[in-house]
Each structure stands twice: as C-alpha cells, then as structure tokens.
Structure 1
Amino acid sequence: MEVNHFDKRARLAECKSQIAAALNDQNFSEVQLWLARAWDADPSAALSAWTKRTLDPVRDDFCLAGIKVAFLRAYTIEPAVALLTASAYTQRLRIDPFLGQFNTYAQELLTPGSDYHRFEADVTILALLTRVVAPELWDGFASRTESDTEKIVDRVCNELGTLMDHFRKHNSGYMVIHNLEPPPLLCLGIGDPGRPGGQRDCIQRINQFLRCEIDRRPGFCLLDMEHLVYGFGASRWYDEQRWQTIRLPMASDAVAVLAKHWLKHIGALSLPAKKVLVVDLDNTMWHGVVGEDGYDGIRLDDSPAGQPHRKLQQALLDLHHRGVLLAICSKNNHADAWQVIQQHPDMLLRPEHFAAVRINWENKSSNLQSLAAELNVGIDSFVFLDDNPVEQQQVRHALPQVRVLDVGKDASGYSAIVRDEIGFERRWVSQDDQNRGRMYAQQRSRRDAQAESSDLETYLHSLETVVERIDPDAAMLERVAQLTQKTNQFNLTTRRYSIQQINELSRANESEVLAFQVSDRFGDSGIVGVAILRFEPDGCEIDSLLMSCRVIGRNIETAMLTEIIDIARLRSCERIIGRYIPTAKNSPCADFYDQHGFVFANGAWELNCGQRSSVEMPAWIKMRVPPVTPPGQT
C-alpha cells in the first residue's frame, strides 16, 4: 500500500509539474491532457482544491464552454459539487453553480420568485433520496399494509409530477432527475424481490413513473441512481455514519462516482459532441501485427490476448449504433489489413461499419485531416485511439483540436476508456443517429457515381433526389434541436436551441418550425435541414436556416428556401428577412442570400415575396409537402 501511495504521489507531482509548464506556454491541450491524468490517479477533494486554485484565474482563456447549473437536493452534496466543478476543467468546461438550501427542493421549485428561479439555470440537478422523498419505503416497510404502500406510491408520483410541471412552467432549461435507489438491506429480506407490492417493487414503480414522465416531457433527463448504486455495490456506496452526522449518505469513493455521472449528463447537454472515432488496427483493433504475424497470427478470440480487443470491438460497435462514425487510420499494407476486416471469423466489425478508411504509410495527422475532408466534418469532432504513444503524441502536437485518448499498452482497459469518453455521450439517440453509419456508406456510393458522371448536373439528375418538408411531431423535435446545437458549416445564424425552446416555437402562432428530410436512389439521408420562421404583420423572418454537411453541394438549401417563400406567401407576408451571422465555421453559406436574389438593407437581407421567380426549385429535386391549412381556417 505504501508503494502504491508513493506511486500516486509521484504521478500527481509529475502531472502538476507538467500542467504548470503547459500553462506557462499557454498550451491548453497539454493542460487538459495532464489534468485528466491527475484526475484518473486521484479524484479527491485535495486535487479538487488544487485544480480550482490553479485554473480559476485562467478559466476564461482555458475553458471552451460555460454553463449555469443549479443543484436542488434532499441531502448534503457540497463535496460532490466541488468535485464536479473542478473535474469539469478536464473537459475545458466552466460550471457556474447554484446550491439550493438543504432539503428545500420543493419550496425552491414551487415558489416562482425563489433564488433558484432567479438564477435561471441552464441545467438543474434534482438530487432526490429515497429515505427523504419516501421515508416510509425506506424504514419500517414490513409494518405497512398493501393499502398503505399504494397510497405512498401515488403520493410520491403526484408530488414528483407537480415538481416537473412547475419546473417547466418557470424554466426553459434542462432538468436531470435522480430516480430512487433501494436500501442495501430489504425489510423483508430474501422474500422481498419479485414480490408484488414489496419494498423494491414500490420503489421501482415510482422509478417507472419517472421514466414515463421523462419520455413524454421535452428537456428532462434521468440519472439512474438505482443502476449507479447497483453497479458500484450497495455495501460500498452507503455510509450510514456520514448520513447520521452530516446528512451525506454515501462514501467518499461514491461521491466521486456521482460527480462523474453529473459531468456526463452536463457534458452531453453543453459540450460539442464528438462525431468520429478514428481507430488504429495492429495491437488496437486486434492483438498482433498483421504484417508480421499474418492473417492467422492475430488474436481476437476468447484467449487472454484476444479478448480485450474483442471487447473493444463490441464497444466500437455500440458507438456505431449510437451514431458515432468509425474510421480507420493504420500504417499497414492495405491488402493485408483489409483481408482481416473482410474475412476474419472473429471480427465483430466489418467494412460496412466504417465511414472512411486510411490504411497506408502516411503520417497519421495528415491522414486525419484527409478523413475530416472526406467526411466533411470539423477536425475538432475527432477522437483518436492508438496504442502507440509516439503516434498519440504526434497527433497531439500536429492537431491539438483532436481528442487523443490516453491509453497505454494494456489493452484490457481500452473498451472502458472508449465507453467512458464524455464526448460520445448522447442524451437521446435518434433514428438518424442509429442510421448514421449506413448513411455515410451511401455517401461513398454517391461519390463513386459522381466520379463516373460526365458533369455535375448529370450527376445531380441521376440521384433522383426527393426533399420532403415535415411539420415535426414531438418525437422529431429532439432531432431538430440536435441539429440546431451541432450544425456549424451551413448555419446562417448559428442560434442554438434546446428541445423545450423548439417545442415552444413549434406551438406558437407567430412562429413555425420546419424539418426537411432528403432521400435519393442510394437511400434515405434522414432529417438534414431545419428552418425556423418568425412572423410579423407584414413579414417573415428566417430566424434559423441550417443544413447538415452530408447534403451540401446538392442545392437542397435552394429547395428549402422555395418552401419558405411558399409559406410566407400563404401567410400574406410582403417580405422575407434573413440574416447571416458569421462564425469561424459557417463561411460556406456566407453568400447564400446574395445568390438567391435578396437585397441587403438596414443590416439584413430582404426579398420581396412577389419575386419568386428569382428562386426556382432545382430541376433535379422533387419536393413533397404536407397539406397546408391557411391561418384562420380549419
């Protein structure tokens, strides 16, 4: 133990020294790397205090994003909040916290003018606790009648529903709700599990109520405390002495786990999602070097050598189904490596799972840039996984925007590192996310067709493109909000909207939210375009007009604009107003309004609705629209 303690102290000392040097050089990517290593070694209160002392003075320069987070709680959470705000620096995220008073969460939510509501949080954490929310289900349960427990469950569900109603009425942000955790020892012992109306059953019914309510309410998320306690181990999670003395029900190690899961939820709501995971092959995707060991020499079976790599492939496959694009970057002979991917019986991943591939002898940073160009996404949305520390450092140095996973030679931890990456967390996985890998495979087919066409117009006609305007229902609003939050290149105003804001805009009479789905002879690209319109007595303002990079270059944006003009004319608007707000990434759409006949005047672009002839539907696009009812008619 003394040796381990010494090793930890030595690692922390090295990390702190490297952080100081990197701060002196203003090399913030190196600061982030060494800070993450420090937190992996010792996620403690002492490191939390050191992190805040060191980085608080430079947080405006160091942090890439900031977010206001309110904590409404049924127990003492100050230690967890301190760990969270400090560990958020590992993601270059600044958290400005508001901490509600102990066990006043209901009053804070139900009082419109409370300090909590005045804080106007982006995210609210509602930290519930079974022994506080439903004390009758925690202690003395064995003496309750079935009628008693029914009333208790109904009461708790009604109270939680009321709190959610009041939150949404007065707050447009997100809420992350803890569900209820069962006690470590059930009152009826081994006779309780599976017993209808038992202690565990009552708690699970309340949790099922929360799941159903969150499913139907935009902007609510569930932190599954029941699963968290189970995964950590209830006997290790709870600390009854701390509960009795300071009303903190969990052990120190459990506090760190809670803070980490808070960060995952907050990161998923506030940080740009990582879109692409680029993976090495030899000794990463499989055990061995195919050029030396040969096709039969690599290991992916259930042996100690092969199993970790097979577990990594399962993790990658799960990410693929979550909407993360997979790509290969390997120094290898293409034919040797590709034979393994195509034919090896133990491979879980096949060619169709990869959106793009670079198997050659070029340096990996150049290959990553080439992959970004092919996939038409920003290099800052890349995560790189390679077992070779030399390759890791080369990419970190050449491309500091790329997130390089800090892995060593021990492959047994690779799958956990990949699964634990906050950039891959998704609050909600849409159908488009699940189909994204297949859509990029279709994109390769389109590129092949374009290469075979004599000219661009012939190629565009050959696609047989159909654009369908959709009035999004509740299930689609999450995808619409997702597009506003992550689309950068073709996004005229880059206004980010939450799911609840999109929901309000779609229901208001003075605004309209349009979604556009694109398909062609190669397949369905899903919902790739969004327009948000605001109406005034004589005009229509294009609040937002954005489109996924997957369909740039096919004049989809022109088809979208023709629909906007039709809707504006149907509402008797005399003019359409549009704005272009430049960012570091949206230059591809800088000339959009100018190219479509708009005139710049008084700080905005305007088009007379009578000038429809200046905007024509591209001849190679067929538009489908739902029936439109003019305002005032039923």
Structure 2
Amino acid sequence: MKVFSQIRKNLKNDFSNLKTVKVALLGDSATQFLNQAIRGLGYDRGFDLQIWEADFNQIELQITDPNSELYEFEPEIIIIFQSSHKLLGKYNKLKVDQHSQLCANEMHFLSHMVDTISGQSKAKIIYYNYTEIDDTVFGNYSGKIEMSFLYQLRKLNVELMNFASATANFYLCDLSTIQNLLGKPNFFQTSVYINTEMVLSIDALPYVASRTLDVIGALQGKFKKCVILDLDNTTWGGIIGDDGIENIQVGTLGIGKAFSEFQYWIKKLKNRGIIVAVCSKNTESVAKEPFEKHPDMVLRLDDISVFIANWENKADNIRQIQSILNIGFDSMVFLDDNPFERNIVRENIPEITVPELPEDPSEYLEYLYTLNLFETISYSNEDTERTKLYQIEAQRASVQQKFTNEEDFLKSLDMVSVVESFNKFNKPRVAQLSQRSNQFNLRTVRYTDDDIDTLMADPDTYTFSFTLEDKYGDNGLICVIILKTESAETLFIDTWFMSCRVLKRGMENFVLNTIANFAKENGFAFLKGEYIPTAKNDMVKGHYEGLGFHEVDGYWELDVNNYEQKITHITKK
C-alpha cells in the first residue's frame, strides 16, 4: 500500500487519457486530505476522478437544496462521510431517555437524505459505515443496555447493512473493518482531530481511499472474475511429484491447517461466482490426484473451471486459460508462492494481478484479506452456477478442436435461445451483466435494478434479453438489447452487450435478425447504432459495419426493409 505522500504525488500526473468520473464528496468533518487521497489513488486505478468537495459539515444543506452546488455539479457518484465522533456529539446532547433512539433517528435522517438525492439525481451513493468508539460509560455492560452509545453504534451499522440491501444505488464502504485492521491508534489520532477536525489519520487515508476506489471501480465495471491457483506450496504444502499424495500438507494439523483454510476461502469465492482455475508445473494426472483422492482436500475437481498442469511456461498457460474463459487479463488474479513464477507472469502479462504472497503460508489469508481483490456490487443466483458454465465451455472448446469446419461444429451444438422482455425474474441478471460486460459492450452503459425498472416503464423503450442453451448445457442470460424510439421511422440501439462466453456462436446474427424483425413489424424503417470506444471494447469496433450497417454522421444505420436474414444455427425457443 502506498503511503499518503506517494499518492499525493499522483496529483501532478497527466489524467487526460483516463476514464472521467464525476464524484461529489460530503463530510461532517474535514475531508480535504481524503479528497486528495481518493483522486490520487484514482490515477493508479485508471480514473480521472473529478471531485467536487462540499464545505465542512454541509451535508444536509447541499442535499436538501435542489439548487445547490451538489446538483449543479451533476455527479455520477456521491460519497457521504458521517463520522462516529460527530455521532457521539449528537448522543451527548440527547436527554438520557432519548439515548436509545439514536439509531432510529439516524436511519430516519439517512432514509430522507437518500430519497431526496434520488429525486434530484441519478448518482450512486457510497456511504461510510461507522468505526467503533467505546466511551466505557457502561463498560462490558454496554452490550446489554440499549441506551449505551456502543449499543446504538453497533445497531446502526447493522441497520445500515439492512438499508443497503434494500436500497438501489446505495453502497456501503466498510471503514469499521479498516479501523480493525490498522488499530484505532493508527486510524484516529486525537491531537489531529482536535486541531483540524480530521477524523482520519494520514496513515489511514490510503486504506480508506483504496476501499472507496474498490467500490467506484466496481460501479464502473472493474471486477476480478477469476482466481488462478498454483498448486505445490500454494494450494497445499509440499511438492506432490516428489512427496507423494500421503505426504502433502493439508488438513487440521500443523501448517496443513493454513492450506486448508486457504482452500476454504477459495471455495467460498467459487460459491460466490469467482471462476477458479489451476495453472501448475506438474504432470496433469499427478496434479489432479489430491483433488480426487486426498481425504482432507477442501477443493475438488468440480470446483475448478479450467485445469492446466504441464511443464510449459506459466504465462503461456495463463493465456490458454484466458482464451477458454474469454475474459480480460485485468479480471484475473494469479496466486503462486514462487517469486520467480510471479515475476515471469507479471513481465509477460502486465494486466493480471499477481499478489506478493508472504513467505509463510500461515500468513497467506490475512494478507489476501487486506487486498480486497474481489469487490462486487451485485450477486445473483446464476453466480453459483458459474463454475459449471465454464467447465462446460472448456468441454465445448475441446470438442470444437475435433471439427475441421466451424459450421459443422455450430450445427452440432443444437443451440436454442429464449427471447424475452425485461421482467422481475431476469432483472437482477440484466443489471449484473451490464455491470460486468466490458469487451462486448457497444456503449458501455451501466444499469442498476432501479434503472431497469425505469426502462421497463417507458413506453418508448423496448427491451430484449437472450439466453443460450446447447446440448452441453445452459449458459443462462447472455445478451441484452435496449431499443429506444428516436423518431417515427428510427429505433436507436441504446444498449447492446453480450457475455464473451458465447462469442463465435452466431449470436450476433441471431440478435440482429430478432431486432430487425421487431423494427419492421412495428413500422420502423431503420435501426441506428453507436459505438463508443473504451479501453476494453475495441473488439466490437467494427461490429455494426460487419453486420451490414452503413456509417451516417458518426452513427451506423440499417435499412430493415431491405435487410436479409443472416444465417444462424440458433433456434428461437
């Protein structure tokens, strides 16, 4: 982690080629240095964060005034920092019989503020939870008496989580965890607070900024989707080829416990939807043996989406994993105990994240916890099936190699697609896919559940979701189209994004056939598309031209009345 002085040096760099995001920062205490830390660290994460900072303790004034500088700035993200120290001040001013109402009062105020923002802005809200202050008035009895400050503070953090889970466009950033990590003396320094109204120490600022950027990055579609594991001395202790299956270290005894706990963490990531792959210098049959036969292994072969074990260069093997998964290298994390292998991968694939694992395996997990590598802003039931989906994709890739003719391979898949408008059942997956799709995304517009509700209610908007299933399995919802009425004769393709899992299956042709038919049947003469370039979507730069659209004034148009249906081996179900 960079220290604050290093982060602040980034402010002198050229931000002009970075993605611009407008951020408003409101706090009840001094936030000038926090502003600098967030913007400076944003440079390292690839963002030009244009931050408007409210004056000290102006949260309510800025939010409730519809003509305030906040709304004039038109932020995409609003960060709200209400500190535990100011909260303690409110508690101290309450009458004794009102102390037990502190949490309810704050949640009522927060709900009103969020509703007010939603009425004035489409901005996403990042809200810092509360760090703990134990005033020791009741000692350990604080946990049993509702009127104590510590009871109210802890209750407030729980209610914040409940509120966040039920509120669209509202995301928590966990300051409490950072204070636990650093220790309160390092997180908060009394002399600084008394003299400057800063509740975050200089040492804490990089950590707070990092967690804040994790959420901002996720809101902008930057996710880690895959963890790639080395095996020997990373997933288990020892070298399977030399020590044999009976002598590797895994289980409940000694250092084996550290590796088992590491595997439990990987298993939880897999259950959450993170793709797990293996890249090991080993003979494949030997490398697979512990997964198949060792009684203490937590991970099994059915937890692994792609398993590559050979004696080739690991960077080349990771490229093979990437080609099967069809995700960006910047979405991947590679874990290996060997510094030499880590450096080889870093030098050859600079986009991939390669943590510098500690020498002592017992420290792996605590170190990885601090990195918060797998931030997310959404979760759906389909996430739990992701490993199976990619295992099936690896099977398809293997079968495809046996076909000399691609058309014959596509015919053999027996592909079918369900085409539906957005509804309450597919809405969570549509929102999630919009957040995660970066490469095959023509305009890269992100949607929350709340945004999708608005689209569904708009009579001039037409929505389409596409699934894809074949004889090997069901890929689920993999493509989204949003059409908007631009004129009496033109439909604008506001959104077209698709999962890279299904590239080269003819889905683009099937989708265009579907929306061209829809336009024609509803009296429209033209489909109009737009490509907005980003750092990641270069692969669809020629998308519309390749489908037969013609460029007109920077846009792409298709005459649907003269459109000839494209050949596709996908059947509408």
Q: Output the TM-score relative to the length of structure 1.
A: 0.80
The 2-side partners of 1:152 and 1:269 are apart by 31
The 2-side partners of 1:468 and 1:164 are apart by 37
The 2-side partners of 1:566 and 1:226 are apart by 54
**In the alignment, does 2:21 pair up with 1:71?**
no
Distance 1:339 1:275, change over 3 A: same
Give the AA of the match of 2:14: R
Distance 1:233 1:154, change over 3 A: same
Confirm or deny: 8 A CA contact 1:284 1:386 kept in the other structure: yes
Can you give the 5+ residue segments of structure 2 that lack an aligned partner in the other structure? none
Partner of 1:58: 13
Q: CA deviation at 1:122?
A: 2.8
The 1-side partners of 2:235 and 2:40 are apart by 34
Tell me the SS of whatever aligns to 1:480. helix
The 2-side partners of 1:287 and 1:513 are apart by 52
Selected match of 1:574 from 525, 528, 540: 525
Give the AA of the match of 2:21: I
Distance 1:565 1:372, change over 3 A: same
Q: CA deviation at 1:375?
A: 1.8
Partner of 2:246: 296
The 2-side partners of 1:475 and 1:185 are apart by 47
The 1-side partners of 2:209 and 2:219 are apart by 15
The 2-side partners of 1:417 and 1:506 are apart by 44
The 1-side partners of 2:437 and 2:67 are apart by 36
**In the alignment, does 2:495 pair up with 1:541?**
no
Tell me the SS of whatever aligns to 1:543. strand
Tell me the SS of whatever aligns to 1:349. coil
Distance 1:134 1:572, change over 3 A: farther
Q: CA deviation at 1:73?
A: 0.6
Distance 1:90 1:616, change over 3 A: closer
Tell me the SS of whatever aligns to 1:139. helix
Confirm or deny: 8 A CA contact 2:11 2:39 kept in the other structure: no
Partner of 1:317: 267
Matches within 5 A, 1:31-50: 36=1, 39=2, 43=3, 48-50=4-6
Distance 1:588 1:222, change over 3 A: closer
Confirm or deny: 8 A CA contact 2:329 2:351 kept in the other structure: yes
Distance 1:49 1:240, change over 3 A: closer
Distance 1:334 1:235, change over 3 A: same
Matches within 5 A, 1:344-359: 344-359=294-309
Tell me the SS of whatever aligns to 1:490. coil
**In the alignment, does 2:97 pair up with 1:97?**
no
Q: CA deviation at 1:531?
A: 0.8
The 2-side partners of 1:585 and 1:105 are apart by 36
The 1-side partners of 2:101 and 2:481 are apart by 47
Tell me the SS of whatever aligns to 1:436. helix
Tell me the SS of whatever aligns to 1:176. strand
Q: CA deviation at 1:581?
A: 5.1
Q: CA deviation at 1:164?
A: 0.6
Q: Output the TM-score relative to the length of structure 2.
A: 0.87
**In the alignment, does 2:536 pair up with 1:607?**
no
The 2-side partners of 1:329 and 1:265 are apart by 29
Confirm or deny: 8 A CA contact 1:315 1:419 kept in the other structure: no
The 1-side partners of 2:425 and 2:138 are apart by 41
Distance 1:166 1:373, change over 3 A: same
Q: CA deviation at 1:455?
A: 5.5
Q: Cα RMSD between the aligned structures?
A: 3.3
Matches within 5 A, 1:374-389: 374-389=324-339
Distance 1:457 1:606, change over 3 A: same
Confirm or deny: 8 A CA contact 2:410 2:569 kept in the other structure: no
The 2-side partners of 1:357 and 1:291 are apart by 17
Confirm or deny: 8 A CA contact 1:173 1:498 kept in the other structure: no
Give the AA of the match of 1:113: N
Selected match of 1:409 from 340, 353, 359: 359
Matches within 5 A, 1:163-174: 163-174=113-124
The 1-side partners of 2:402 and 2:548 are apart by 33
Partner of 2:415: 465
Task: Give deviations 1:292-326, integer Å, cap 9, x for gaps.
Answer: 22222211123443233223222222222332222
Give the AA of the match of 1:550: R
Q: CA deviation at 1:362?
A: 1.0
Confirm or deny: 8 A CA contact 2:100 2:146 kept in the other structure: no
Selected match of 1:557 from 505, 508, 514: 508
Distance 1:383 1:231, change over 3 A: closer
The 1-side partners of 2:369 and 2:228 are apart by 14
Partner of 2:228: 278
Selected match of 1:117 from 71, 78, 88: 71
Confirm or deny: 8 A CA contact 1:65 1:270 kept in the other structure: no
Confirm or deny: 8 A CA contact 2:220 2:446 kept in the other structure: no
Confirm or deny: 8 A CA contact 1:139 1:187 kept in the other structure: no
Q: CA deviation at 1:233?
A: 5.3
The 1-side partners of 2:101 and 2:49 are apart by 40
Distance 1:425 1:185, change over 3 A: same
Distance 1:508 1:344, change over 3 A: same
The 2-side partners of 1:393 and 1:427 are apart by 31
Matches within 5 A, 1:221-232: 221-226=171-176, 228-229=178-179
Confirm or deny: 8 A CA contact 2:78 2:123 kept in the other structure: yes
Q: CA deviation at 1:232?
A: 5.4
Give the AA of the match of 2:15: D
Q: CA deviation at 1:602?
A: 5.1
Partner of 2:463: 513
Q: CA deviation at 1:221?
A: 0.2
Confirm or deny: 8 A CA contact 1:184 1:235 kept in the other structure: no
The 1-side partners of 2:201 and 2:553 are apart by 61
Distance 1:616 1:88, change over 3 A: closer
The 2-side partners of 1:256 and 1:445 are apart by 44
Distance 1:115 1:603, change over 3 A: closer
User: 466-475 or 406-415, which moves further after superposition?
Assistant: 466-475
Partner of 1:9: none
Selected match of 1:531 from 481, 498, 520: 481
Task: Give deviations 1:274-306, integer Å, cap 9, x for gaps.
Answer: 322222111111111112222222111234432
**In the alignment, does 2:257 pair up with 1:307?**
yes
Selected match of 1:160 from 110, 128, 149: 110
Tell me the SS of whatever aligns to 2:143. coil
Distance 1:566 1:159, change over 3 A: farther
Confirm or deny: 8 A CA contact 1:531 1:545 kept in the other structure: yes
Q: CA deviation at 1:518?
A: 2.5
Task: Give deviations 1:510-545, integer Å, cap 9, x for gaps.
Answer: 323332222334333222111121112222111222
Q: CA deviation at 1:399?
A: 2.2
Partner of 1:435: 385
Q: CA deviation at 1:359?
A: 1.0
Confirm or deny: 8 A CA contact 1:380 1:403 kept in the other structure: yes
Distance 1:233 1:586, change over 3 A: closer
The 2-side partners of 1:162 and 1:265 are apart by 23
